[in-house]
């Protein structure tokens, strides 16, 4: 593989000093020279990483008598559903009700 060096490089493995200009080197050496910015050639494109998988919805179990639970229990349940850390008791109740409606709509659609 040919690379065009912009500056003088000491290649310890080959025991050589490569002066600026065009040189025939291995692919590994070419990659190293590019990473260090010693060549005129653009760096090889990096492989695209796969997009992260979307988070799976947490299906927290909502007990039938959830409204009668202590407000801290309702807030914990709402945190499991929404992932939000700071919630009031009223916000927690709204999140739980919204999740119940969402699940009901999902069951009706199936």
Under a CB-based contact definition with an 8 Å cutoff, are residues 1 and 26 in contact?
yes
How far does CA 58 lie from the centroid of its chain?
19
Classify strands 9-11 and 2-5 as parallel, antiparallel or unpaired.
Answer: unpaired
Q: What is the pLDDT of residue 40?
A: 60
- Three-state DSSP class for 19? coil
pTM of this structure: 0.48
9, β-bridge pairs: 18
d(CA 67, CA 24): 75
Instruction: Give the Cβ contact number of residue 77 at 10 Å.
Output: 21
DSSP-assigned states of every residue in 39-99: BSSPPPPPPPPPPPPPPPPP-----TTGGGS-HHHHHHHHHHHH--S---HHHHHHHHHHH
Q: What is the pLDDT along the chain (110 residues), one digit of tens a residue?
A: 776 766 676 665 666 666 777 777 778 877 777 777 666 655 556 678 888 776 665 578 999 999 999 999 999 999 988 888 899 999 999 999 999 998 888 878 76
């Amino acid at each position: 593989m040919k690379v065009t060096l912009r500056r003088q490089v000491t290649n310890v493995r080959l025991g050589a000093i490569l002066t600026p200009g065009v040189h025939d080197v291995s692919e590994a050496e070419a990659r190293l020279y590019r990473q260090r910015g010693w060549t005129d050639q653009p760096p090889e494109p990096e492989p695209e990483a796969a997009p992260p998988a979307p988070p799976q919805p947490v299906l927290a179990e909502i007990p039938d008598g959830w409204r009668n639970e202590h407000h801290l229990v309702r807030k914990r349940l709402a945190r499991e559903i929404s992932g939000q850390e700071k919630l009031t008791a009223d916000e927690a109740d709204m999140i739980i009700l919204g999740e119940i409606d969402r699940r009901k709509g999902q069951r009706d659609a199936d």
